[in-house]
Structure 1
Amino acid sequence: MKSLPYILPFQDVNLASIPEVGGKNASLGELIRNLRQSGVLIPDGFAVTAAAFRQHLKENNLESEVYGALEAVNILDPDALAPVAFAVREKIRSPPLPTAIEQGICEAYLALSRQYGEAESDVAVRSSATAEDLPTASFAGQQETYLNVRGRVRLLQAVRDCMASLFTDRAIVYRAERGFAQRDVALSVGIQKMVRSDLAAAGVIFTLDTESGFRDVVMITGSYGLGEMVVQGQVNPDEFWVHKSTLAEGYRSIIRRELGSKETKLVYATAGTSLVKELRVPVEDRQRPILTDDELLTLARWSVAIEKHYSERAGALTPMDIEWAKDGATGQLFIVQARPETVHAQAKGPLSVYRLRGKGKVLLRGKSVGSQIGAGKVCVAHDVTELRKLRPGEILVAPMTDPDWEPVLQRAAAVVTDHGGRTCHAAIVARELGIPCVVGTGTATEVAIGVQEMTVCCAEGDEGKVYEGLIPFSREEVDPKRLPPTSVPLMLNISKPEQAFFLGQLPTAGVGLARIEFIISGWIGAHPMALLHPELIKSSAVRSQLLDLTRTSRSPAEYFIGKLASGVAQIAAAFYPRPVIVRLSDFKTNEYAGLLGGKDFEPIEDNPMLGWRGASRYYHPNYREGFALECAALRRVRDEMGLRNLKVMVPFCRTVDEARKVLDEMATHGLRRGENGLEVYVMCEIPSNVILAEAFSELFDGFSIGSNDLTQLVLGIDRDSEILGPLWDEQNPAVEQMITSVVHKAHLYGRKVGLCGQAPSDHPEFARFLAGVGIDSISITSDALPKVAEVLARPSNS
């Protein structure tokens, strides 16, 4: 009888080899055999097969002892399981490996060392279970990995330790909960050449947005030093998003950058050993990204190539979870692991939309994981020994989590951590369990002391918030497949870029209104003229705040341009190639004055609603420099990132002459109407826009009716007046006649007309009137989408 092979080089295995070498090793072989020719760099190595694991148990008479012990214990009782699992691991790691297996490992290790020109290479020794890295179960972090292993003696011990780690408490429970029989899962061990990321950086890549499941981006995270810090959630990493579609067209489509705090890094404590130590990262390194733009784009292209290969092999789109590392000695980038993503890949059916229905005190802010909301009593646990006090339905607050916590994590209604990013262990497990999680709050375990109840909200964008007390919330399911077709295209009004990836998955015609001022107030926070002219600011404290705000940017101007471009790009990418109409800033003077440094640049007006706002600012000498920053950001989105679906809209344009001035100003800054397909719309919110619609049609590509301002100016009602509130009616015949008039006039000139005001969102039946007058699109809030679609789908006589 032919003996089973105990050692297989990575290049001799592929995904069909999972029963022999486990998911992790099979995937490495798949990558090396199929992606290297495309330029993807993967460190080489070999697998100690599952047959070797079984032979080790057999020769040491451990099979019946190990599995008998597990069958006799209540696996779901942590106190009962712990001593049994520990004894099992000791029995496996203590005896030497069978002679044939030891010889095979040593010979393969010597050959690998020669391949890299070394006497004894430093290697990573990774566990690879035969039920691991599957599309339906990740088994992330269940077994052990040992880094910087050098020499045959230490290598053989690390292999035995990996074999023993198949029986960690967490791995035993994970298999039981997911229906895997303990005897059916074996362990292979991967030996892979180390990448000296301790001298550079490492991290994780997902070929989708981890929170929304949006699949047209690559999300790259990372921090300095060994990647364990990112995976374990001990550090708040950098995060980057690259848009796949425009990347494929050759654009430098890094649509968003978020620098993490990156306070610490993990490095080797002693050369030639697997001992590691934690070091503080210098401030100047924390304030710069871990990778250059070219490196980010390289990793993104590799990730897309990996996803494409796995998808073609599976016959269906297969999002990937990938680990990368940069070698500090050579400067080269490497892919060190890849596996199918297991949460969003299985998600089907309706989208769950959560909304807070009350207000409360914000205790903590961090990065949101998922889009759910959870509420309950608070349980603070600093380590695994304190988890016993966690009761079902409670909020777990911890410094971070690791795989040892998994057996009890499913009891939690939500998780809040001090440290970690969106690819750390707590985030991965929370997604898999379907519970909300806010990571990287910094002070959760301190703030939660004495707090009885909390509400954890991940439904307000990518900033997660933790509220004191139990805040009412709702959950609504929107099934995109069940929304009826409508006679008029429905678009969305969007205020927060963080919600765009989620909303972009709804079956709409695009974005009818994206407000720049929300990005300026929420993401930038400073007045553009204050950033350009801090010397004109009277307060030294404000000047100091501006300096702190822009410290990590090349210049204050670049701070504004970069932040605004990222916010706009996230919306444009989420709906690509559908049109996204972005409205230029329309703050009133009192609102601009509320921005950091704004008071020194804004006049005091008695009626800001009818004052220096919208188009009148863009060409004015007191603001045109600030407008130039807006134009630079939009040009970057269109020309550098390739998001040509972006259209620009001019608000509150009072006269035809003013329209010409604004268009000339835009052209001066590289936004010339018609160039590279740029379309420029005008808001129709002033009676003059309707009366002179023919003249405005000669200058713009279309109109978007702002029903709020149009109603205000047609009826002569201050929309903020409580006294006049009862008179306010967007469905007043005078307003409806104005809408009818501009639609008919614009159509005579071949111009499209949409409506982006609040009226149809508040009054879905108003959409039927708009359809009747021949409007080309209706833009509404996301929560109104099902109701408006239903109204438009109904027969007119119903």
Structure 2
Amino acid sequence: MSSGYHHVRFFQDIGLEDVSLVGGKNASLGELYRELTPKGLLVPNGFAVTAEAYRATLQQAGAWPSLHTILDPVDPDDLSDLAERAHEARELVYSTPLPPELLAEIRQAYQQLKDEYGSDLTVAVRSSATAEDLPNASFAGQHESYLNISGEQQVVDAVRRCFASLFTDRAIRYRINNGFDHFKVLNSVGVMKMVRSDLASSGVIFSIDTETGFPDVVFITAAYGLGENVVQGAVDPDEFYVFKPTFNQGKRQVLRRSLGGKKIKMVYADGGSRDHTRNIPTDKKDRERYCLDDEEVLLLADYAIKIEDHYSAKAGEKRPMDVEWAKDGIDEKIYIVQARPETAASRIDRTKLEEYHLTGTGLVLATGRAVGTKVAAGKARVIAQPSDLTAFEPGEVLVSDTTSPDWGTVMKSAAAIVTNRGGRTCHAAIVARELGLPAVVGTDNATRAIHTGDLVTVSCAEGITGKIYQGALPFDVEKIDLSAMPRPTTKIMMNVGEPDSAFALSFLPNDGVGLARMEFIISNAIKVHPMALIDQERLDPAERDEIKRLTEGYAKPSDFFVERLSEGIGTIAAAFFPKPVIVRLSDFKTNEYASLIGGKAFELGEANPMIGFRGASRYAHPAYEPGFALECAALKRAREGMGLTNIIPMVPFCRRVEEAERVIAKMSEFGLTRGENGLEIYVMCEIPNNVILIDEFAKCFDGFSIGSNDLTQLTLGVDRDSETVAFDFDERDPGVMKMIELAVEGARRNHRHSGICGQAPSDYPEVAEYLVRLGIDSISLNPDSVLKTTMRVLDIERQMERT
């Protein structure tokens, strides 16, 4: 106990075992300060006014019977009655005077903090209920906190307001819904030094991916100003991921990043303001850059991993964490200001797979960040102000600028939630996850594009981007128990194009990624022709301006390409780590390259791009060699900088053995030497020459992946893009099947990996069966075919065992 105190405990004197004394939030702050500051974390000092002080305050004033009279008859479904009784309860508690000995202790403890930090100290005064921040009940946002408080009088007033906030509408409702007794939940109050993030930045960290429950990443959000905007969803923050397994091995790099809008920031209000804080617009230049540099992101990741490890050790089980952080704009240091167990993503049962699939399409009214993976339809209800909530009917889609903790009952009855503002850690997103609802946040325009009464479909089943469609679209829900599904001998891999979907797809039963298409990442995340980033003299002014905008903040434009491409590749590789992830080098055709920004200046028109200047022929050619160097730099950064050595580069459309030798030599020149650091290099087996000369190609490559689309095209002489002769394009043709057989046998003869990543086994069960009977090492499928094909392969292998 701190000397001389009865109703106050400084953080150094409390820990997780003291929840009943100081509430969940303060117990966690004490744990952080006492146990983790010696390990390098920075935590602001402070003290807790105990829950017993709250009880004694009401006891001394004889307030308990009056509170029973007010609250015992409360009906949580009668919103007006609830609001009236809650207000009456708060007024009763706020008007109750603090006992003189408690007042004296608060003043003395506050003076002790001033002695430590200086006379210009400002503090945060935060509620900490005894049933808050528990592993099974978050109580997030139920009680009040007050920021930028200074002076004894303001501190004492804020403590009284926190005591009273135990009876906000939302807190009363939450306790009733979760089975907590109003009179057994007590409120402690934390008083801690303010971190001057009003002059810098702040945000939230999760030691788990909040959307998918993928456990191996640290997910960091960040925005300028005080952290309340990020927590409440008033701002779209920057986002960062760090991959824990390789980070712990010393490979310290950001896995991926996303620039947020950060339109407003919360700062200190002018002197004399009752609210103490206010929101102001963020400077345009600040909005266009990340508010953390890589070193700061990695420091936050280190903090999060240490916190997760500590809390997991205390709990005796893995304990993903939800952490609040703030950067001080005066001393430039980063502080941890709260940590609590994560209570939504970590509870997802991954043995029970529930997949939502839209089976229709319609006009997209708005898009934003998807929360969850579900689909829901209903009539929209646009909430422009809190008074509109009274008209909300169960089953409607709630559409608003942002949401508030006061809206709990309405949100619980919604079919889905859509907001203009907020990132994936905002209030709307957190509540939607807890309730199992689909939500799309940060749309920017939902309240303008959608009107009350509109029938809409909210889809979070299409990756990281959530969509709101006009009308009620049909969709299917597939429920599968994965716990009893055995693994076949034939490796079942996946074709993964979008990094955004990789974490979710990793939970499907799989043996890795058989095809990750580099060109998907270039098209979606980079958008610029690599040569246009190297040589801008050929570009028109508009293209140069667009490239300047996209590459703002990079030392040179080509760094943008390398970072973005490596982060896209790295995200897929991390999702499936340590399983193999086969990344196909760029395989754009000239017309596809030309459609990228600046592409027309570097691509010649071809009569038949399908069999023109594509794949391996580009890589050592003067017209593209500098661009290929960037591709290799991105792969090297992902493999060596991020530590993702499960990445296997694959060369597409390699026509001749001499060409293979030139490409392998060029890759080595650019830092990717076959055999070094475990590097294997595969080749697409998709040209008849690859099959005919497979023994020679096997000297250059470690594995073959059959591309059934191009192999069919070139075996049958059918342009696969031509609708006129589409009837002749059939992967099941005996000639094509013979080519596949020779390829598998040739790979086996040369002790090389054999796989297939074309469309055929996804579309045709008989092709999958043929491949299994041939003894192919792996089949790579589109994600929607993985489960049914796995079960089919298991049946085939059982039949083969019996015969």
TM-score range, shorter chain: over 0.9
Q: Give the equivalent residue in structure 1 for 2:320.
A: 319
- Which residue number corresponds to residue 290 of structure 1? 291
- Say whether 1:245 aligns with 2:248: no
Q: Show the counterpart of 1:547.
A: 548
Q: Tell me the CA shift for residue 29 of structure 1.
A: 1.4
Match of 2:734 in 1: 733
- Partner of 2:205 in structure 1? 205
Q: Is 1:190 equivalent to 2:173 in the alignment?
A: no
2 CA distance for matches of 1:454 and 1:520?
A: 32
Cα separation, 1, equivalents of 2:373 and 2:525: 20
Q: Which residue of 2 aligns with 1:395?
A: 397
Alignment of 1:152-163 (within 5 A): 152-163=152-163
Give the drift of 1:140: 0.6
* Deviation at residue 119 of structure 1 after TM alignment: 3.9
Question: How far apart are the structure 2 equivalents of 1:175 and 1:370?
Answer: 25
Q: 1:436 aligns with which of 426, 435, 438?
A: 438
Partner Cα separation in structure 1 for residue 84 and residue 281 of structure 2 = 37
Partners in 2 of 1:50 and 1:565 — Cα distance? 51
Query: CA separation in 2, counterparts of 1:396 and 1:212?
Result: 23
Q: Which residue number in structure 2 is paired with residue 276 of structure 1?
A: 277
State whether residues 322 and 339 of structure 2, in contact with CA within 8 Å, keep that contact through their aligned partners in structure 1. Answer: yes
The within-5 A match list for 1:82-481 is 82-116=83-117, 118-119=118-119, 121-270=121-270, 275-348=276-349, 349-449=351-451, 452-481=454-483
User: 1:345: Cα distance to partner?
Assistant: 2.0
- Asked if 1:65 corresponds to 2:66, the answer is yes
Q: CA deviation at 1:22?
A: 0.8
- RMSD over aligned CA atoms reads 1.8
Cα deviation digits, residues 518-540 of structure 1 (max 9, x gap): 111111122222233333134x4
1:380–1:553 Cα change, 3 Å: farther
The whole-number CA distance in structure 2 between the counterparts of 1:279 and 1:270 is: 12
Superposed CA deviations along residues 725-775 of structure 1, whole A, max 9, x for unmatched, are 333332322222222212222222221111111122112343232122121
> The residue matched to 1:649 in structure 2 has which SS?
strand
Aligned AA (2:626): E
Tell me how far apart the structure 1 counterparts of residues 481 and 635 of structure 2 sit (CA, whole Å): 33
Alpha-carbon distance in 2 for matches of 1:344, 1:67? 37
2:52 counterpart letter in structure 1: A
C-alpha displacement of 1:541: 3.4
Residues 764, 784 of structure 1: 8 Å contact kept: no
Residue 550 (structure 2) pairs with residue 558 (structure 1)? no
Aligned to 2:76, what secondary structure does the other structure show? coil
* 8 A contact 1:246–1:253 mirrored in 2: no
Query: Which residue identity is paired with 1:796?
Result: Q
Deviation string 1:453-482 (CA, Å, 9 cap, x unpaired) is 222222222122222222222222343323
Kept after mapping to 1: 8 A contact 2:516/2:581? yes
The C-alpha deviation readout for 1:58-112, integer Å capped at 9, x for no partner, is 1112112113311112122111111110011011111221122212222222222
* Worse-matched range after superposition: 662-671 or 547-556: 547-556
Deviations 1:128-169 (A, max 9, x none): 111111111111111001112112111111111001001000
Q: Which residue of 1 aligns with 2:636?
A: 635
Change (3 A) 1:244 1:63: same
**4+ residue stretches of structure 1 with deviation over 6 A?**
none
Compute the displacement of 1:552 (Å): 4.5
In 2, distance between residues paired with 1:607 and 1:46?
Answer: 74
Alpha-carbon distance in 2 for matches of 1:561, 1:372: 34
Q: Does 1:592 align with 2:598?
A: no
Q: Structure 1's 380 and 484: CA in aligned 2 closer, same or farther, altered over 3 A?
A: same
Q: Indicate whether 1:796 and 2:796 are aligned.
A: no
Equivalent position of 1:714 in the other structure: 715
Return the offset for 1:120.
Answer: 6.6
SS of the equivalent of 1:535 reads coil
Q: 1:353 to 1:638 in 2, by over 3 A?
A: same
Whichever residue aligns with residue 513 of structure 1, its letter is L
Taking the aligned partners of 1:42 and 1:246, their CA distance within structure 2 comes to 26
2:537 aligned residue: 535
1:3-18 pair list within 5 angstroms: 5-18=6-19
Q: CA deviation at 1:599?
A: 2.3
Q: Supply the AA of the counterpart residue of 1:382.
A: A
Give yes or no for contact 2:522–2:565 (8 Å, CA) kept in 1. Answer: yes
Find the aligned partners of 2:46 and 2:258 in 1 and give their Cα distance. Answer: 34
Displacement of 1:551: 3.1
Residue of structure 1 in register with 2:47 after alignment: 46
Aligned mates of 2:452, 2:340 — CA distance in 1: 42
In structure 2, the residue corresponding to 1:54 is in which secondary structure? helix
Distance 2:162 2:444 in 1: 33
1:26 aligned partner: 27
> Quick one: distance in 2 between partners of 1:763 and 1:391?
46
Question: Contact 2:417/2:440 (CA < 8 Å) preserved in 1?
Answer: yes
| Residue identity (%) | 52
Q: Shift of the alpha carbon at 1:4?
A: 11
Contact 2:358 2:474 in 1 (8 A): yes
Q: In 2 relative to 1, CA 530–359 (structure 1 residues): closer, same or farther, beyond 3 Å?
A: farther
**How far has the Cα of 1:508 moved from its partner?**
1.4
On the 8 A contact 2:149/2:276 being kept in 1, the answer is no
**SS at 2:101's partner residue?**
helix
Q: Secondary structure at the match of 1:64?
A: helix
Q: Do the aligned partners of residues 131 and 120 (structure 1) sit closer, same or farther apart at CA in structure 2, a change above 3 Å counting?
A: same
CA distance in structure 2 between the aligned counterparts of 1:507 and 1:449, rounded to whole angstroms:
41
Partner-residue secondary structure (3-state), 1:331 = coil
Aligned ranges 1:629-668 → 2 under 5 Å: 629-668=630-669
1:35 aligns with 2:36: yes
What is the distance in 2 between the residues matched to 1:453 and 1:629? Answer: 47
Which amino acid counterpart does residue 298 of structure 1 have in structure 2?
Answer: L
1:272 shift after superposition: 8.5
Post-superposition offset of 1:441 = 1.3
Match of 2:620 in 1: 619
Between stretches 346-355 and 34-43, larger displacement belongs to 346-355
Residue 23 of structure 1 contacts residue 128 of structure 1 at CA under 8 Å; is this kept in 2?
yes
* Letter paired with 1:695: E
What is the one-letter code of the residue matched to 1:173?
R
How far apart are 1:517 and its partner, in Å? 0.9
Partners of 1:275 and 1:793 in 2: how far apart?
65
| Superposed displacement of residue 320, structure 1 | 0.3
Shift of 1:445: 1.1
What is the aligned partner in structure 1 of residue 673 from structure 2?
672
Query: Aligned ranges for residues 508-527 of structure 1 at < 5 Å?
Result: 508-527=510-529
TM-score where L is the length of structure 2: 0.96
1:756 aligned onto 2:757: yes
Structure 1 Cα separation of the partners of residues 730 and 107 of structure 2: 83
Contact 1:653–1:659 (8 Å) recurs in 2:
yes
Give distance in 1, aligned partners of 2:480 and 2:651.
33
For the Cα contact (< 8 Å) 2:208–2:346, is it kept in 1?
no
Residues 400 and 419, structure 1, Cα contact 8 Å, conserved in 2: yes
1:48 deviates by: 1.0
C-alpha displacement of 1:542? 3.5
Equivalent position amino acid for 2:396 in 1: E
1:565, 1:636 within 8 Å by CA — same for their partners in 2?
yes
Contact (CA 8 Å) 1:4, 1:51: kept in 2 or not?
no
1:483 to 467, 471, 485: 485
